[in-house]
């Protein structure tokens, strides 16, 4: 039995082999095509049960087989897996692209929408039909027959380019390592970082310490290493990944130009003025200009604070650190020194209070308080010994969701943090399918017999991804197309994740997350007060950085796409307009901006700031009623998490908050009110 074709439960990671991929995908593509062909031949009036559901079933089987393959390609990448992934990706892309262009299918959905039966469908089912009609138009169903082959070719090519972009970035990250044999060169690095570097060198049969460009190694070097030349070496290697400064076969520059050009061509074919306008057709924001105005207004508010942050840093570096020419590789180091001087604590000191063995139970306690849910270890086959698996039970003991938790960085695992779905909640006859999520991070693994220790920023990241997970797992929608995060506008999908981040700044939550790894004492209130005082440290700089990336993304996919301007030249132009810290000329940020070139955020990176307005405003209702209020927690579940994509996100927000969102809470949370 091919484990990819067994849909009776969770994915069979213990039985998976690369040779299972192609036969499973070929069989499911063939079966799916036959289902479509049979339904198109039928002359009966299409209904939900005779048309939508069978097509949904076929597509779900395909996604449930491809999902584990795609997931493993991200977290356990190998040459053999990559080859099979790239062999099958065009077939998957072509299948969905052909469905999106199928005028006969489009007509069937129109018949359902215009039939008397439409009125008796549930709100969720009506929303699915409306989304499908929109997506057929965006998928090229209305194109002339002579244009459809080119549109299909573009979709296939774009999926291949995105996969190649991510591969190049992973390979370029893995290709760099720096072995240090003189301990003096590593002065300032925390003990746990040194220990991990020593273990990494030992595993390579090398003496000394091994430094890499993976976050648990690179971040602490930039923040703590007193060796300025070491910081510069690491910085230059990091910001030139997948560029012309490395191996030609890993250079993403040409891929970026091709991706932008093809997206623009596809948008023009569909009658849009730019890819940005095409992207926004399925989002909350009404137009690219509206988003640009929002970002520019936010930049106007943030820039004075950013200028002040910069000047304080320059003055401190000159007066206290003897640095008269602060460079990009000095920013994190000088900022950490300034924070310690101003607030009398360091990230490293705080990290000692956040062992994984305390953080996870504290997080689960918060979920129990807000929603009455219990989280405990479950049983499932996993892809790596470090991966954990959990069940979520409601107050009656019923199982309502499950999730995999893959917390640590390792080679052959792509960087960053993300949530993805393994199974989506839906009704199958009398049975409700239990939703299952993947929660993936890249934190430092345990070393020296101690539990993994998280920085406060990493705790925030964990809460962020858990918010995405809850959005997927706590849905009550029973129809696949709008269940969980499905069908949620992309610029609203960050609302539940960023909402969860706010709890990381609440004493009544944080006190349960902490226990000193050695002394077993909780985080002192005095240290917490210092963290709160430092919460908005350099928030002006951080806000402008996000705005810089968002404007770059929107303009690259906007009218600028037709001018042929290079991504790098455009980014430099935008930096001149909004940034206060300009990186060196050799910085190649676009070449590793996988969010927009490989991760689904194209012309949508602004979503982080857009949704942050929603999340800060939503959290203000908790602030008004008690941040651990079960009553408000249940209301958030009912109006935001439970409804998934079954209604517009703005309607869900208004149902929860009682009014439309405004920017005040966001500015207050960032100390810019």
The catalytic site residues sit at 465
Q: How many CB atoms neighbour CB 100 within 10 A?
A: 20
CA gyration radius, the chain: 25
User: Which residues are registered as beta bridge partners of 180?
Assistant: 209
CA distances from 330 to 222, 229, 313 (A): 7, 10, 10
**Residue 49, token pair as written in the block:** 């049960």
Could you give phi then psi for residue 528, rounded to 5 degrees? -60, -45
Looking at the chain, the number of H-run helices and the number of E-run strands are 26, 9
Q: What residue has token string 């910001």?
A: 239
CA distances from 297 to 293, 498, 543 (A): 6, 21, 12
Report the residue count for the chain: 673
Helix (H/G/I), strand (E/B), else coil: 565:
coil
CA distances from 6 to 9, 64, 72, 125 (A): 8, 9, 17, 27
Cβ neighbours of residue 659 under 8 Å, at least 6 residues apart?
none
CA distances from 415 to 174, 199, 256 (A): 11, 20, 19
Determine the Cα–Cα distance for residues 607 and 612; give it in Å rounded to an integer. 8
Closest listed residue to residue 527, CA positions, set 365, 352, 310: 352
DSSP 45: P
Determine the Cα–Cα distance for residues 395 and 390; give it in Å rounded to an integer. 16
Closest listed residue to residue 386, CA positions, set 364, 365, 414, 356: 356
DSSP 210: E
The packing angle between helices 148-175 and 79-101, to 10°, is 160
């Amino acid at each position: 039995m091919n484990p990819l074709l067994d849909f009776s439960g969770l994915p069979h990671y213990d039985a998976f082999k690369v040779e299972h991929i192609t036969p499973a995908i070929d069989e499911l593509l063939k079966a799916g095509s036959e289902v479509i062909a049979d339904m198109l031949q039928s002359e009966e009036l299409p209904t939900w049960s005779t048309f939508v559901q069978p097509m949904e079933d076929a597509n779900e089987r395909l996604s449930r087989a491809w999902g584990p393959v795609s997931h493993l390609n991200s977290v356990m990448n190998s040459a053999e897996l990559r080859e099979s992934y790239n062999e099958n990706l065009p077939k998957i892309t072509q299948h969905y692209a052909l469905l999106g262009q199928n005028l006969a299918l489009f007509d069937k959905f129109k018949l359902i929408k215009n039939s008397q039966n439409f009125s008796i469908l549930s709100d969720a089912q009506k929303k699915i039909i409306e989304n499908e009609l929109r997506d057929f138009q965006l998928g090229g169903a209305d194109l002339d027959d002579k244009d459809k082959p080119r549109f299909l070719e573009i979709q296939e090519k774009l999926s291949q380019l995105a996969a190649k972009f991510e591969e190049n970035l992973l390979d370029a990250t893995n290709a760099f390592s720096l072995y240090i044999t003189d301990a003096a060169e590593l002065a300032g690095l925390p003990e746990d970082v040194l220990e991990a570097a020593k273990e990494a060198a030992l595993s390579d049969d090398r003496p000394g310490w091994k430094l890499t460009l993976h976050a648990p190694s690179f971040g602490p070097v930039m923040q703590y290493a007193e060796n300025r030349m070491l910081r510069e070496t690491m910085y230059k290697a990091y910001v030139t990944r997948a560029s012309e400064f490395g191996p030609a076969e890993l250079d993403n520059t040409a891929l970026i130009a091709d991706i932008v050009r093809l997206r623009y061509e596809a948008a023009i074919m569909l009658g849009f003025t730019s890819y940005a306008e095409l992207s926004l057709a399925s989002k909350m924001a009404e137009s690219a200009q509206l988003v640009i105005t929002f970002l520019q207004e936010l930049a106007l508010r943030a820039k004075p604070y950013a200028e002040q942050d910069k000047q304080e840093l320059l003055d401190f570096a000159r007066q206290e650190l003897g640095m008269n020419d602060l460079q990009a590789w000095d920013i994190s180091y000088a900022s950490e020194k300034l924070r310690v001087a101003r607030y009398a604590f360091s990230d490293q000191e705080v990290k000692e209070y956040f062992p994984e063995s305390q953080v996870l139970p504290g997080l689960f306690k918060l979920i129990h308080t807000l929603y009455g849910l219990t989280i405990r270890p479950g049983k499932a086959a996993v892809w790596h010994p470090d991966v954990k698996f959990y069940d979520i039970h409601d107050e009656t003991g019923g199982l309502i969701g499950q999730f995999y938790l893959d917390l640590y960085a390792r080679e052959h695992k792509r960087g960053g943090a993300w949530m993805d779905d393994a199974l989506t909640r839906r009704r199958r006859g009398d049975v409700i399918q239990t939703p299952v999520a993947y929660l993936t991070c890249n934190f430092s693994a345990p070393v020296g017999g101690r539990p993994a220790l998280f920085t406060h920023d990493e705790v925030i990241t964990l809460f962020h991804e858990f918010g995405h997970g809850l959005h997927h797992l706590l849905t009550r929608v029973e129809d696949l197309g709008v269940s969980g995060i499905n069908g949620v506008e992309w610029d609203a999908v960050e609302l539940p994740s960023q909402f969860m981040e706010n709890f990381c700044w609440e004493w009544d939550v944080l006190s349960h997350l902490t226990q000193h790894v050695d002394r077993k004492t909780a985080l002192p209130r005095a240290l917490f007060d210092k963290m709160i005082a430092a919460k908005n440290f350099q928030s002006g700089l951080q806000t402008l950085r996000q705005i810089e990336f968002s404007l770059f993304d929107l303009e690259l996919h906007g009218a600028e796409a037709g001018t042929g301007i290079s991504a790098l030249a455009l980014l430099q132009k935008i930096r001149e307009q909004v940034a206060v810290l300009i990186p060196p000329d050799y910085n190649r940020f676009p070449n590793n901006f996988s969010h927009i070139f490989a991760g689904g955020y194209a012309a949508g990176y602004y979503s982080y700031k857009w949704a942050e307005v929603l999340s800060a405003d939503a959290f203000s209702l908790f602030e008004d009623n008690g941040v651990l209020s079960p009553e408000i927690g249940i209301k958030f579940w009912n109006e935001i998490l439970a409804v998934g994509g079954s209604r517009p996100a703005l309607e869900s927000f208004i149902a929860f908050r009682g009014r439309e969102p405004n920017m005040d809470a966001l500015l207050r949370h960032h100390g810019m009110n």
